[in-house]
Structure 1
Amino acid sequence: MSSGQANSERSARHPALDNIELVAFDLDGTLIDSVPDLAVAVDAALGDHGQRPVGVDKVRDWVGNGSRKLVERALAHALATAPERLEPQAVETVHARFLDHYAEKPYAQTTLYDGVRQCLSALATRSVTCVLITNKPIAFVGPILSHFELADFFALTLGGDSLDEKKPHPAPLLHAAQHTSTAPAKALMVGDSRHDIAAGKAAGFRTLAVTYGYNHGEPIAACRPDHIVTTLAELG
């Protein structure tokens, strides 16, 4: 590459990528819009236990802390009670049915956000290592990545049950940094929610948030990420 080409690439690169060797991506709400399929599974699980459906709009606000927390919020809403007042066994029972229903159709209505493939392809071309860190149970991650032909972009994939801790705890991010022999200061966490940004900051990563996705109805700017984009194509 000539010096002119190198300077041109540097000028075109988003500043979030300056001196970055590792990019960790969230999945739901960042790479894919999975809420339609999650809502179908939540409503089916509630229906199995005689409860009315909660619908896609409610589910969109509840995503982000893993599947059990999603079911807990949905069941509490259906029963018009506080989550902490639920019987743990009732949550476990409905959660088990949710997992069964979601496993049947984890990507029937799920879509890839605009700019995702462009972004991942560009990072691969630049030899930037990418990992996936999601709070979704790991059993569902592989089939979804395969469906969208994204698996080969990631050097490591962690689900919400891959380690003892999940986001917003920094452990998954620090595990990814260690696994790829990357200093946290040279890593970037990309996500759509306060949990992603909190995990990134706690791990010593730089942070980048997308303006779409699921952040419990709150503006992502309130989390004070280092960078904000409206589409991941901006990183490409």
Structure 2
Amino acid sequence: MLDKPKGVLFDLDGTLLDTARDLGNALNWVLQQHKMPSCAFSVYRNIASDGSQGLLEIGFGDRLADYDVESLKALFLERYEKEICVDTVSFNGIKELLARLDKDNIPWGIVTNKPQWLTELLLPHFDEFAQCQVVISGDTLEKRKPHPLPLIHAANAMNIDPADCWYIGDAKRDIDAAKAANMFSVVANYGYIGPEHRSDSWNADLYIDQPQAILAHL
């Protein structure tokens, strides 16, 4: 039996929220403006955690070099901002997991690489985040994941030793950051992870296939 965490931190996209369709919708809108073919959900889903750069790379492919990438990013973000929560939902089991953490008085927070202005636009759409203790975005501090600073900062904000905190994420940078912060690392296999990511090689402390799996350790 694993030791019960004194605090839990989560990645956002691909861990708490399934944002892939809204991100993909923004990508396809940009592609449409440039007379490029749309990108299928099955293609962009596992790239969703990589932000605008990764999505534009998968959408434009070799043609990306023909464009001003910063202008494309600006277009993408403008569109995403307008429709940031049309198809976005929390993953099945997240509401139950957060409710249990709240019930057990286990503080929890969010550490994401998503820009702060987008994070702040998105979170209020979800009542289950009401008891979130801390939110650290990709531009909150001078470093972002895979650097451990955002995770350590979040743990300190909750008055918890990082060694007593769990971090749950769906990307290698999440696990690298957790290990560097001396936190217990958990891979959300239900997130944006494809076979090409080889998550079994990340050397995480725990792998879960659904959020409810955490409940057994509380």
- Alignment match, 1:119: 97
Comparing 121-130 with 67-76, greater Cα deviation is found at: 67-76
Are positions 1:207 and 2:191 aligned together? no
- Kindly provide the amino acid, as one letter, of the partner of residue 100 in structure 2: A
Q: Work out the CA distance in 2 between the residues paired with 1:69 and 1:147.
A: 25
- Alignment match, 1:101: 79
Q: 2:45 aligns with which of 60, 63, 69?
A: 60
Q: Work out the CA distance in 2 between the residues paired with 1:19 and 1:56.
A: 37
How far apart are 1:219 and its partner, in Å?
A: 4.2
Q: 2:20 aligns with which of 35, 54, 70?
A: 35
Q: Work out the CA distance in 1 between the residues paired with 2:131 and 2:198.
A: 29
Comparing 193-202 with 150-159, greater Cα deviation is found at: 150-159
Counterpart mapping for 1:125-144 below 5 A: 125-144=103-122
- Alignment match, 2:208: 229
Q: 2:137 aligns with which of 149, 156, 159?
A: 159
Write out per-residue CA displacement over residues 180-229 of structure 1, whole angstroms, 9 at most, x where no aligned residue. 22211111101122121111111111111122111354343221211112
Q: Any idea what SS the aligned residue of 1:209 has?
A: strand
How far apart are 1:61 and its partner, in Å?
A: 2.6
- Alignment match, 1:74: 58
How far apart are 1:19 and its partner, in Å?
A: 4.4
C-alpha contact (below 8 Å) 2:48/2:55 kept by paired residues: no
How far apart are 1:164 and its partner, in Å?
A: 2.1
Are positions 1:47 and 2:43 aligned together? no
Q: Rate the CA distance shift 1:168–1:117 in 2: closer, same or farther, 3 A.
A: same
* Structure 2: tracts of 5 or more residues without a match: none
How far apart are 1:56 and its partner, in Å?
A: 2.1
Write out per-residue CA displacement over residues 126-184 of structure 1, whole angstroms, 9 at most, x where no aligned residue. 11110101122222223332212133131111222222222112121011122222211
Q: Any idea what SS the aligned residue of 1:176 has?
A: helix
C-alpha contact (below 8 Å) 2:47/2:54 kept by paired residues: yes
Task: State the identity as a percent.
Answer: 28
- Kindly provide the amino acid, as one letter, of the partner of residue 145 in structure 2: K
Comparing 43-52 with 196-205, greater Cα deviation is found at: 43-52
- Alignment match, 2:161: 183
* Larger of the two Rg values belongs to structure: 1
Q: Work out the CA distance in 1 between the residues paired with 2:90 and 2:114.
A: 16
Q: Work out the CA distance in 1 between the residues paired with 2:68 and 2:55.
A: 10
* Structure 1: tracts of 5 or more residues without a match: 1-14
C-alpha contact (below 8 Å) 1:107/1:144 kept by paired residues: yes
- Alignment match, 1:4: none
TM-score when normalising by structure 2 = 0.88
TM-score when normalising by structure 1 = 0.82
Write out per-residue CA displacement over residues 90-130 of structure 1, whole angstroms, 9 at most, x where no aligned residue. 11100001111111111211122111011111111111110
